[in-house]
Amino acid sequence: MEHEQSTKFEKFTWKVENFSKYNTDVDVYSEPFIIGGYPWKIIFNQSAYEVGDISVYLSAVETANMSNGWSRHVKFNLFVVNQIDNNESSIEEKKYALGRVLYFLKTRKMKDMNDIACKELQIFWEELGHFGFDLTWLEPHVQSALGMKRFLEKLKEVEKLKDNEALLELEIMRMKAKMVALEINLHAVKDLLEAEEFEGIWTLN
C-alpha cells in the first residue's frame, strides 16, 4: 500500500481464523492498522447469491480528527491466499501476483533500485512464493534486481574514487607547477647572488 504523497510501500497481513464459521452477507472486520499515518481496516463478506464468492475491500477508520468530506488517494493491493491449500487460491490472483513481479522487473530501471524499490520487490516476491509456482526461472532475475542497489553503491564508490583521483592529479600538477616556479626563482636568486659577488670582487680590485 502506498500513500499518495509517498513512494513508501507498506504491508499488513490479516489471517482469518475459522473462515467457514462466518455467515453470508455479514461484514467481518480486521483489527485497525496504521499505514501512511492513517488508520485502516479490511472488510470481507461471503456472498449469499454466488456460492464460494467473497468480497474484500479496504476501508478508512473514522476518527475524531477527521473533517467532513475527508478523503485520501492511495495505491493498494489486496492479496488473498487459501491457508489450507495454496492450489485452491484463484488463478486470477496467481496471474496477478506473477504479473506484478514481471511488470516491476520490466518497468524499473537500474537507477530506480533504492531501498524502497527493493523492499517493494521483496514483498511482491514473497507473496508470489505462497502460490507454489516453480520460480527457478525467475529467481535469478529477481535476485539480480535486488542486488542492484549494492551494485549502484559500489559504482558510486568507484566514481567517487575517480573524482578523488582526478582531484589528486590536479593537485600534483599544481605542485609540479609550484616546483618549476620555485626552481626558476632559485636560479634567479643564484644568478643575483653571483652577480653581486662578482660586482664586489670588481670593486675591490
DSSP string over 97-128: HHHHHHHHHHH--GGG-SHHHHHHHHHHHHHH
At 203 the pLDDT is 54
At 32 the pLDDT is 93
pTM of the model: 0.41
Given a cut of 80, whether residue 59 has pLDDT beyond it is: yes
Of 20-29, 59-68, 98-107, 195-204, where does mean pLDDT reach its minimum?
195-204
Query: pLDDT for 90-123, tens place per residue?
Result: 555 677 788 888 888 888 887 788 888 888 888 8
Task: Output the average pLDDT for the chain.
Answer: 77
At 33 the pLDDT is 92
Residue 186: alpha-carbon gap to chain centroid: 60
